[in-house]
Structure 1
Amino acid sequence: MQLPVNDITSLIPQKHPFVMVGKLLLVDETITRSSFVIKSDNIMVKNGFFQEAGLMENIAQTAALRAGYLAHTENKPVENGYIGSVKNFEVYGLPKIDDELLTEINIEDKVFNVTVLTGKVWLNDTLIASCEMKVFEGK
């Protein structure tokens, strides 16, 4: 599977209508980048704007994309992940329908089945959201 990955459906456990990522752009030792175009039928859109919970889920699903991609490269099944905690979640602006988000997570630490990451979401060149997150992998 070569990057970018345009069909991410096999890499994440989430299914429509709860998919908040579109393409997988980059995976290296610590960084993962995804993109996502907001559509009008997205369940996280209200009054034409993608809501704060959607931005948080976009960061979490970028982590899921990373885990799914790495599992795929190792011929392992894609496991579910769960947000364990979120710290310092800040939203600087809400994107609207047809905007394309660029999301980057940076793996700060991984201990057993817990990944600690920082996530940032950009609209064009403007940072619109950021947080620290713990994600638990497994059943």
Structure 2
Amino acid sequence: MEFPVDDISDLIPQKQPFVFVDKLLYAGDSLTRSSFKIKKDAVFVKDGLLQEAGLMENIAQTAALRAGYMAHQANALVMNGYIGNVKNLEIFALPKIDDEIITEVNIGEQIFNVTVITGKIWLDGKLIAGCEMKVFADN
């Protein structure tokens, strides 16, 4: 697969209407980058803005996108993942409908089925959100 990956449907376990990533822009050993254009019918859009829960889900799905990409490269099954803990969440702005956000996830510690990640979301080159998260993988 070459970047960007436009069809990510086989790389994540989530299905519409609960998909908060559109493209895989990059996936490496520790850094993953995705994009997502805010849609008016997205689950967590309220008053024309993607709410905090949608931003957290976008970070988690960017991590899932990396895991799915790595599984695909290894001819393995894509696993389900669950947010276990969110720490140091900072939201500076909420993106509006038709905005395209860029999300970066850095992989930290991986212990058994738990991965600690740091996620940051950018809009037009400005940091709008970030957090640390523990994600649990499950078959």
Same fold (TM over 0.5): yes
The count of corresponding residues between Structure 1 and Structure 2 is: 139
- The Cα of 1:111 is off from its aligned counterpart by 1.1
In structure 2, C-alpha distance between the alignment counterparts of 1:126 and 1:74, rounded to whole Å: 35
Structure 1 residues without counterparts, runs of 5 or longer: none
Aligned to 1:106: 106
In structure 2, C-alpha distance between the alignment counterparts of 1:41 and 1:134, rounded to whole Å: 28
Task: Give 1:4's aligned amino acid.
Answer: P
In structure 2, C-alpha distance between the alignment counterparts of 1:9 and 1:77, rounded to whole Å: 13
**Any idea what SS the aligned residue of 1:64 has?**
helix
> Among the aligned pairs, what percent are the same residue?
65
- The Cα of 1:39 is off from its aligned counterpart by 0.9
- TM-score, normalization: structure 2? 0.98
**Any idea what SS the aligned residue of 1:36 has?**
strand
Aligned to 1:67: 67
- TM-score, normalization: structure 1? 0.98
Structure 2 residues without counterparts, runs of 5 or longer: none
Query: RMSD of the TM alignment (CA)?
Result: 0.6
Which stretch of the first structure deviates more once superposed, 51-60 or 105-114? 105-114
Aligned to 1:48: 48
Residue 136, structure 1, aligned to residue 136, structure 2: yes
**Any idea what SS the aligned residue of 1:4 has?**
coil
- The Cα of 1:41 is off from its aligned counterpart by 1.0
Task: Give 1:11's aligned amino acid.
Answer: L
Aligned to 2:31: 31
In structure 1, C-alpha distance between the alignment counterparts of 2:28 and 2:17, rounded to whole Å: 28
* Aligned structure 1 segments of 4 or more residues deviating by more than 3 angstroms: none
